Amino acid sequence: MKTTLGWLKTHIDLAASLDDMVSALAMRGLEVDAIDDRAAALKPFIVARVVSAEKHPNADKLKLCRVDIGGKEVQVVCGAPNAHAPMLAVFAPVGSVIPRTGAVLKASAIRGVESQGMLCSGYELGLSEDHEGIIELSAGLTVGAGFASATGRDDPVLDIKITANRADCLGVRGLARDLAASGLGALKPLAIDPVPGKFPSPIAVHLAGPDDKACPLFLGRLVRGVRNGPSPQWLQDRLTTIGLRPISALVDITNFLTFDLCRPLHVFDAGKLDGDLALRGARPHEKLKALDGKEYALDGEMTVIADNSGAISLGGVIGGESTGCSDSTTDVFIEAALFDPVRTAATGRRLGIQSDARYRFERGLDPEFVRPGIELATKLVLELCSGEPGEIVTAGAVPQWRHTIAFRPARTWTLGGLDLDPREQRRILESLGCKISGSGDTLSVDPPSWRADILGEADLVEEVLRIHGYDKIPAVPLRRDSDLPKPAIDAARRRTDFVRRTLASRDLIEAISFSFLPPAQAELFGGAPEALRLVNPIAAGLDQMRPSILPNLLAAAQRNADRFEPNAALFEIGPQYRDDTPEGQDEMATGIRVGRSGVKRWDDPGRPVDALMAKEDALAALAAAGVAADNVQVNADPPAWYHPGRAGTLQLGPKTLGAFGEIHPGVLAALGVDGPAVGFEIFLGALPAPRARGRARPLLRPSPFQPVERDFAFIVPVDLAAETLLRAARGVDKKLVTEVRLFDVYQGKGVEDGKKSLAITVRLQPNDATLTDAQIDGFSKKLIETVEKATGGKLRS
């Protein structure tokens, strides 16, 4: 909402500086986004009289002027052909900044003659493109006066952000009312003198029904014999300073009232109307060519104003071209109505029309101001275009809007935290237009017709606080109900944080990527169901909810590779989406390693990433989450986006905790990722619930007896899972065996084809007595038997 200081002052005797007013508005919820103080740049320039203009003694094209700058004469050298006595001109004193160039004007000698300033062109002042001659001001201005104020260029333009609840402040008067209530000046009375109609209206107005929700009140008035044409300068200036284009007096009047009093109206050229005006829903296939030159297809949910020819205006949104006013208009029909906010908003949105009228109607307008609006419009039409007014025709009635709120001034303290004298509270509410009755602890407050946003007691508390100032509410600490703080996060979130910091401490870098990705990528990672595709994405490729975080991380790795960072190690802790229910959102810890394990170093050449690096990351994450690696079962049946032979899943009993391994080369190719790439995915929600209480550890009983280690090597089938052997070895004597360590995997010379050698160290820890040789031998024998049976292998001899 744009206005100017001068415009505001037509509604209020302002008793504050511009700065104070701007900060007062801001504190009251009317934030001033921008102030275009046009006067500031023009401040140094003053009105001056050229006393004499003679030829420069040393230059043919220059003039030597004596200039009266108000009680003082100076000498100025000027090159303008139009400089002459006794014209009024704009004088720039030495030291002023020329707006167009930003240069500081210096005293100088031009061709040997001193010049004590400059006479300015419109170009130099940034006011026009005319640099042929200097500005010639109209006679009658005071010599020595400021140029900006003398010519009305000192009116700063304010751009104010109006929140959705304050329809009343979409008119200048609404702003003035808030300022007056805040003690910044006195609100000027608004005179509404009804203009008597001189003849019965030949055009009637009709509503669709007696209780039309789309428009409860519809008024019209014919003014005959008007002369339309450009509006007067003051009105054109008002509109242009807030960025509107003057069109003609009749149209400018409606725009002026829209911004001045928040009362949109429409003017029809009565000569182009065919019969009465009726409000109705648009008919199927009905079309309207609107004033913006575009044709719109309408439907029954849209309210139109129609005459016998059909729809001629979209109620509350935009007028039609066929009945618009032009310079040849002689009879004008002024329309003012109360269109339903919801339908107006829906209509405008469906047709993509954003008009000043729609903007106001959809926020809800003052139901009592329809008739005053048409009276004021009539008055302006008569003033600017003359003519003869007809009687006002009416359909419908002002809808019931009055309501009473029980208001306890004590709530300003108990809800608002401000202890304010009830009398001052009363003054504030009354100055905003509320009618108050009753006394004591509970008052009856009727909000004014223009404040449909005030619905309950909390709204009244807000009005009191807002006008008095939020800065006056004393800040008090928010005390917690216990002496010491309690944990802010539950056990599961604590675990997630621990996983995050564990992965980062493994040299993985945390990324955060979008929850959506291209459907084609989702297809590679489990599917792209329609139900998880946005219907209004911001861009193609940002429309499918991700079924996995991997594609985002892989794409990020490739972007880094393209910037000569081929080795990316990234992880993200975040959501992936199975379906559109709350339960279908899985919290994941997902990571990738791409390229090599690190850059080549003198002490570590690095190596290409492999599936087991991803397994290490996955198990580290699980360990951080309290799941011991020994309890996790690893199966070689990965999801389809992994390499079928170099990846696995992680199970805990029947639960799938996640997967890891090399990313399928076909998937990498489809994503355009160079690779090699490995990754892991952990379902954080699938992890066993952390124990809620009882942090005590089981008692440690260190054995006093010597442990024993024995090595064994077995020749086993080449495709045997190492885990099968390790599990068998661990199971031989669960009390005695504390560790089984695989220390060698060998294939090649000395081992027949189709076989491999697996070598393990088994650590035995007796608890009751030192092991005897016989016991150790017995154990070894049992271990060999068990492992050979479980693996189909043989002890390597």
Partner 1 sequence: MTQADNIDAYASETGAAIDAAASLDEIEKIRVAALGRSGTVTQWMKSLGTLPKDERAAAGARFNQLRAGIEEKLAAAAQKFEAAALAARLATERVDVTLPVKSEIAGRIHPISQTIAEVVAIFGEMGFRVAEGPHIEDDFYNFTALNIPPEHPARQEHDTFYFPESAEGHRRLLRTHTSPVQIRTMLAQQPPIRIIVPGRTFRSDHDATHSPMFHQVEGLVIDESTHMGQLKGCLIDFCRAFFGIDHLPVRFRASYFPFTEPSAEVDIGCSRAGGELKIGAGADWLEILGCGMVNPKVLEYGGIDPAKYQGFAFGMGVERIAMLKYGIPDLRTFYDSDLRWLRHYGFLPLDVPSMVGGL
Site for partner 1 in 133-172 (CB under 8 A): 163-166
**582 lies in the binding site for partner 1 (CB under 8 A):** yes
Select from 542, 640, 669, 718 the one that contacts partner 1 (CB under 8 A).
542
**540 lies in the binding site for partner 1 (CB under 8 A):** no
Under rule CB under 8 A, which residues in 753-772 are in contact with partner 1?
Answer: none
Select from 310, 584, 707, 731 the one that contacts partner 1 (CB under 8 A).
584
Specify the pairing of strand 568-577 against strand 509-510. Answer: parallel
User: In this structure, what token pair is assigned to residue 3?
Assistant: 């206005």
Residue 665 sits at φ, ψ, to 5 deg, of -60, -35
For the residues of 616-645, what is the DSSP string, one character each? HHHHHHHHHTT--GGG-EEES---TTEEEE
**573 lies in the binding site for partner 1 (CB under 8 A):** yes
**515 lies in the binding site for partner 1 (CB under 8 A):** yes
Paired with 445 in beta bridges are 405, 436
**725 lies in the binding site for partner 1 (CB under 8 A):** no
Least separation in angstroms between CB 558 and partner 1: 10
Rg of the chain's alpha carbons, rounded to an integer? 42
Tell me, what amino acid is at 496?
A: T
Under rule CB under 8 A, which residues in 412-441 are in contact with partner 1?
Answer: 413-418
Site string for partner 1, 676-715 (x = CB under 8 A): ----------------------------------------
Least separation in angstroms between CB 236 and partner 1: 31
Other CB atoms closer than 10 Å to residue 43's CB: what's the count? 15
Other CB atoms closer than 10 Å to residue 706's CB: what's the count? 10
- Strands, E assignment, 513-580: 516-517, 544-545, 568-577
Nearest to 112 by CA among 72, 68, 65, 64: 64
Query: Of 39-47, 113-121, 274-282, 479-487, which segment contacts partner 1 by CB under 8 A?
Result: 479-487
Residue linked to tokens 């419109």: 122
Helix axis angle, 249-261 relative to 172-181, nearest 10°? 30
Contact (CB, 8 A) for 740 and 762? yes
Residue linked to tokens 């090599």: 596
Residue linked to tokens 């696995």: 648
**488 lies in the binding site for partner 1 (CB under 8 A):** yes
Least separation in angstroms between CB 504 and partner 1: 4
Select from 105, 265, 569, 729 the one that contacts partner 1 (CB under 8 A).
569
**39 lies in the binding site for partner 1 (CB under 8 A):** no
CA 492 to each of CA 499, 504, 585, 684, 782: distance values in angstroms, whole numbers, following the listed order: 11, 19, 16, 9, 43
**560 lies in the binding site for partner 1 (CB under 8 A):** yes
547/585 Cα distance (integer angstroms): 9
Paired with 239 in beta bridges are none
Query: Of 121-129, 194-202, 464-472, 682-690, which segment contacts partner 1 by CB under 8 A?
Result: 464-472
12/278 Cα distance (integer angstroms): 39
Least separation in angstroms between CB 521 and partner 1: 15
308/650 Cα distance (integer angstroms): 76
Nearer to partner 1, 327 or 565 (CB): 565
Contact (CB, 8 A) for 791 and 720? yes
Select from 73, 459, 674, 739 the one that contacts partner 1 (CB under 8 A).
459
Select from 28, 495, 615, 664 the one that contacts partner 1 (CB under 8 A).
28
Select from 71, 140, 440, 487 the one that contacts partner 1 (CB under 8 A).
487
Nearer to partner 1, 417 or 626 (CB): 417
Specify the pairing of strand 30-36 against strand 205-206. Answer: unpaired
381/267 Cα distance (integer angstroms): 11
**376 lies in the binding site for partner 1 (CB under 8 A):** no
Query: Of 558-566, 640-648, 763-771, 785-793, which segment contacts partner 1 by CB under 8 A?
Result: 558-566
CA 344 to each of CA 205, 310, 340, 447: distance values in angstroms, whole numbers, following the listed order: 20, 19, 6, 24
Least separation in angstroms between CB 412 and partner 1: 9
**362 lies in the binding site for partner 1 (CB under 8 A):** yes
Select from 109, 191, 475, 769 the one that contacts partner 1 (CB under 8 A).
475
555/568 Cα distance (integer angstroms): 11
**586 lies in the binding site for partner 1 (CB under 8 A):** no
Nearer to partner 1, 476 or 774 (CB): 476
Query: Of 139-147, 285-293, 340-348, 667-675, which segment contacts partner 1 by CB under 8 A?
Result: 340-348
Select from 242, 317, 465, 663 the one that contacts partner 1 (CB under 8 A).
465
Residue 255 sits at φ, ψ, to 5 deg, of -65, -40
Select from 15, 51, 104, 489 the one that contacts partner 1 (CB under 8 A).
489
Contact (CB, 8 A) for 226 and 250? yes
Contact (CB, 8 A) for 223 and 378? yes
Select from 342, 397, 520, 718 the one that contacts partner 1 (CB under 8 A).
342
List of residues 6+ apart from 636 with CB closer than 8 A: 645, 647, 648, 721
- Rounding to the nearest 10 degrees, give the CA dihedral for residues 246, 249, 250, 251: 0
Least separation in angstroms between CB 491 and partner 1: 12
Select from 18, 31, 187, 398 the one that contacts partner 1 (CB under 8 A).
31
Tell me, what amino acid is at 583?
A: E
Nearer to partner 1, 332 or 508 (CB): 508
Nearer to partner 1, 410 or 628 (CB): 410
Query: Of 399-407, 408-416, 629-637, 718-726, which segment contacts partner 1 by CB under 8 A?
Result: 408-416
**513 lies in the binding site for partner 1 (CB under 8 A):** yes
Nearer to partner 1, 579 or 711 (CB): 579
Query: Of 113-121, 151-159, 536-544, 672-680, which segment contacts partner 1 by CB under 8 A?
Result: 536-544
Nearer to partner 1, 382 or 491 (CB): 491
Least separation in angstroms between CB 698 and partner 1: 28
Tell me, what amino acid is at 366?
A: D
List of residues 6+ apart from 564 with CB closer than 8 A: none
Nearer to partner 1, 159 or 388 (CB): 159
Query: Of 242-250, 302-310, 560-568, 678-686, which segment contacts partner 1 by CB under 8 A?
Result: 560-568
Select from 45, 516, 525, 779 the one that contacts partner 1 (CB under 8 A).
516
Contact (CB, 8 A) for 304 and 327? no
**508 lies in the binding site for partner 1 (CB under 8 A):** yes
Nearer to partner 1, 103 or 458 (CB): 458
Tell me what percent of the chain is helix, strand and coil, each rounded to the nearest 5: 30, 30, 45
Nearer to partner 1, 510 or 739 (CB): 510
**213 lies in the binding site for partner 1 (CB under 8 A):** no
Under rule CB under 8 A, which residues in 587-646 are in contact with partner 1?
Answer: 601-604
User: In this structure, what token pair is assigned to residue 166?
Assistant: 């304050």
Nearer to partner 1, 402 or 493 (CB): 493
Least separation in angstroms between CB 516 and partner 1: 8
Tell me, what amino acid is at 404?
A: T
Query: Of 138-146, 266-274, 499-507, 748-756, which segment contacts partner 1 by CB under 8 A?
Result: 499-507
Q: How far is CA 297 from the centre of its chain?
A: 31
Contact (CB, 8 A) for 468 and 428? yes
Q: How far is CA 429 from the centre of its chain?
A: 33
Q: How far is CA 395 from the centre of its chain?
A: 42
Nearer to partner 1, 107 or 509 (CB): 509
Other CB atoms closer than 10 Å to residue 553's CB: what's the count? 24
Nearer to partner 1, 456 or 778 (CB): 456
Nearer to partner 1, 93 or 575 (CB): 575
